[in-house]
Amino acid sequence: MAALFALIASVMWGTSDFLGGTLARKRKVIAVVAGSQALSLGVGILVVIISGEWQKDFWGWHGYGIYAILAGYSGYIGLLAFYAGLSQGRMGVVSPIAALGVVIPVAAGLLRGDNPKSLQLLGIFVAFAGAVMASGPELRGKAGVKPVMYAGIAGLCFGTAQVFMALGSRESAVMTMVGMRVATFAVMGTIAFAKRTVGGLTRVDVPLLFVIGALDFGANVLLGMATHMGLWSIVMVLGSLYPIMTVILAAGIHHERLMKIQYYGIACAIAGVAIISAGGGA
């Protein structure tokens, strides 16, 4: 079940990224991020009220509070660095480097006692390699120092955020995600209020922003639940396969042409999932 939740989270994240990227062609990226996260906070609050998760423990190292805040700001800084890298460099350089951030939660899982079988370790490696290749790495040409630096920061922050998400999810996956959104919304809301702008967003954008935010929130919750149910080292890799969904949607809807290495990456990731399943899942 943990592996299934992680794979569903990947599909949801990939779809959310595709829709967000599509909207960002017409609106400012930071506005799309802020708008979708604000609406996802509304979704989270509704889920909390219905489920009664608000009664979970906020305080202390065994609560979700500190981890939600740290995950929220780590992810937010990572997102800013990621888009800064994309604005100054090529996606084929920035995206694969940022994808390497999954090494952090995988390493954390192994250090905390994960003991995957030999076949599962092979599947982890194959699936991870597939995720990096599917993001379209450019193997030729020079890359500037700044884009690579920003990509490295993004990967570090994304990986760190996943570790904090997993730690907070021990108490409550839902409240951890809501806490993340509250933390980041406080910053983005303050910036929007100070500049008196919503970045060009209009009422027409609200339904799509809602879908983007809901998918992202749901993916976070599912991955958090998966880390509580299975091995981090497997769950985090399966959750990192979201670029595959993004590139498939881009090819099918926007008719974007995929590179050969991306096709190899998709096939490699599918093979990795199959190997992990053969080894006993998560």
pLDDT tens digits, one per residue of 7-21: 999 999 989 988 988
Q: What is the pTM of this model?
A: 0.87
- What integer best gives the mean pLDDT of the chain? 88
At 152, is the pLDDT very low, low, confident or very high (cuts 50, 70, 90)?
Answer: very high
Which pLDDT value is given to residue 188?
83
Residue 114 CA to residue 95 CA, distance in Å, equals 28
Each domain of the chain, given as residue ranges in start order, spans 2-278
pLDDT tens for each residue of 116-135:
999 999 999 999 999 888 88
Rounded to the nearest 10 degrees, the angle between the axes of helix 91-99 and helix 118-134 is: 160
At 222, is the pLDDT very low, low, confident or very high (cuts 50, 70, 90)?
Answer: very high
At 108, is the pLDDT very low, low, confident or very high (cuts 50, 70, 90)?
Answer: very high
pLDDT of 171 strictly over 90: yes
Which pLDDT value is given to residue 251?
85
Which pLDDT value is given to residue 190?
84
Locate all alpha helices (DSSP H) within the chain, ordered by sequence: 2-23, 29-51, 65-88, 91-99, 103-111, 118-134, 145-169, 173-195, 206-229, 232-239, 242-253, 260-278
Q: Which residues lie closer than 8 Å to 129 by C-beta, 6 or more apart? A: 265, 268, 272
Residue 25 CA to residue 213 CA, distance in Å, equals 17
pLDDT of 281 strictly over 70: no
What is the mean pLDDT of the segment spanning 199-209?
A: 89
Residue 246 CA to residue 233 CA, distance in Å, equals 23
At 139, is the pLDDT very low, low, confident or very high (cuts 50, 70, 90)?
Answer: low
